[in-house]
């Protein structure tokens, strides 16, 4: 079998769980990895464990901040004119409604808006690659939850699951709009890994933590198994502009959660929101 060409892979949420395992596995395969996370200690531990020299660059950033995403995009673009793949994992459930310094609901900002900013912002570097791909690891195929168009920032009825489901759906629609608007040459893959033995449960209350831990022991997949398909997406990007995979199964693109009109509407609303933030 011919050796895979070495790639430059940007990974958001690369300091723990599936993102960390993907970073280490890509380094083992000879790739260069730019790993983003908000914990300096976890970043240091990744760098020490990988011992990959200048093939691993840790970028310390709070991706719940629009300004930080823009700084990261500028830094990565300056140092890496070519990016072959962008893999998006960063997320952290928030039991209470938290507002970022920019006035956005934290889950919306971190789990959705960061992915929007990184995918769109890194498009010039991705477009310079031979076979670029964006992989967004979230919950495609899940039909529960919805976009709360009249209250995207969940000021009225906040709930951890409600916020996670809204941002997860927004990520599905981000993929649809990226492909539909030909936002770049990169193919977009929405990937749902299924219940996996990873995830920082520390923000959750002790009861929720204990329940999820016991369930995970019997029902969750090992991290290595959950990330295996990601290597396939990176090594052989699909031909289609958008591919959605829920565990091993292709998701029907006509599913209402991948609605084209909703996707274009969310892209418009997101651009308006960013314009307002940048102006103020």
Residues in the site for ligand NAP, rule: CB under 6 A? 13-19, 37-39, 42, 61-64, 89-92, 110, 137-139, 192-193, 195-196, 198-200
Cα(137)–Cα(172) distance, rounded to whole angstroms?
10
Question: What is the smallest separation between the CB atom of 3 and ligand NAP, expressed in angstroms?
Answer: 28
Question: What is the smallest separation between the CB atom of 33 and ligand NAP, expressed in angstroms?
Answer: 13
8 A C-beta contact, residue 123 and residue 183? yes
Question: What is the smallest separation between the CB atom of 6 and ligand NAP, expressed in angstroms?
Answer: 23
C-beta of 129 vs 138, nearer to ligand NAP: 138
Cα(148)–Cα(153) distance, rounded to whole angstroms?
8
Question: What is the smallest separation between the CB atom of 135 and ligand NAP, expressed in angstroms?
Answer: 11
Question: Minimal CB distance to ligand NAP: which residue?
Answer: 17
C-beta of 15 vs 32, nearer to ligand NAP: 15
C-beta of 8 vs 16, nearer to ligand NAP: 16
- Phi and psi at 77, nearest 5°, equal -65, -40
- Neighbouring C-beta atoms of residue 172, cutoff 10 Å: 28
Name residues whose C-beta falls within 8 Å of residue 193's C-beta, 6 or more positions apart in sequence: 18, 137, 221, 226, 227, 247
C-beta of 36 vs 176, nearer to ligand NAP: 36
C-beta of 65 vs 270, nearer to ligand NAP: 65
Question: What is the smallest separation between the CB atom of 1 and ligand NAP, expressed in angstroms?
Answer: 29
Question: What is the smallest separation between the CB atom of 22 and ligand NAP, expressed in angstroms?
Answer: 9
Question: What is the smallest separation between the CB atom of 24 and ligand NAP, expressed in angstroms?
Answer: 12
* In the chain, alpha helices (H): 17-28, 40-50, 66-79, 106-107, 114-121, 123-127, 160-180, 206-219, 223-235, 260-279
CA dist list (Å): 121 to 109, 180, 253 = 15, 17, 25
Residue 130 in tokens: 């031979």
How far, rounded to the nearest angstrom, does the alpha carbon of residue 99 sit from its chain's CA centroid?
Answer: 20
Residue of 112, 89, 87 whose CA lies nearest to 270: 112
Residue 38 in tokens: 């908000």
C-beta of 17 vs 175, nearer to ligand NAP: 17
C-beta of 91 vs 166, nearer to ligand NAP: 91
């Amino acid at each position: 079998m011919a050796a895979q060409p070495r790639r430059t892979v940007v990974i958001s949420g690369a300091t723990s769980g599936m993102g960390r395992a993907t970073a280490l596995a890509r380094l083992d395969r000879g790739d260069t990895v730019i790993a983003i996370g908000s914990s300096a200690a976890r970043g240091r531990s990744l760098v020490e464990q990988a011992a990959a020299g200048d093939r691993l660059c840790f970028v310390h950033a709070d991706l719940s901040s629009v300004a930080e995403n823009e700084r990261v995009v500028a830094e990565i673009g300056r140092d890496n004119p070519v990016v072959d793949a962008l893999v998006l994992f960063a997320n952290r459930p928030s039991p209470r409604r938290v507002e970022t310094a920019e006035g956005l609901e934290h889950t919306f900002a971190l789990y959705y808006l960061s992915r929007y900013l990184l995918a769109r912002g890194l498009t010039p570097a991705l477009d310079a690659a031979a076979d670029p791909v964006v992989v967004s690891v979230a919950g495609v195929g899940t039909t529960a939850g919805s976009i709360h168009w009249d209250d995207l920032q969940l000021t009225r009825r906040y709930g951890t699951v409600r916020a996670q489901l809204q941002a997860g759906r927004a990520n599905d629609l981000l993929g649809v709009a990226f492909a539909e608007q030909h936002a770049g040459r990169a193919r977009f893959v929405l990937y749902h890994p299924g219940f996996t033995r990873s995830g920082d449960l520390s923000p959750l209350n002790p009861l929720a933590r204990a329940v999820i831990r016991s369930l995970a022991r019997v029902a969750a997949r090992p991290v290595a198994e959950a990330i295996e398909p990601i290597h396939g997406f990176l090594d052989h990007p699909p031909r289609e502009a958008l591919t959605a995979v829920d565990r091993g199964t292709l998701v029907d693109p006509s599913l209402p959660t991948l609605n084209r009109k909703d996707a274009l509407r969310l892209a418009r609303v997101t651009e308006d929101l960013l314009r307002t933030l940048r102006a103020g």
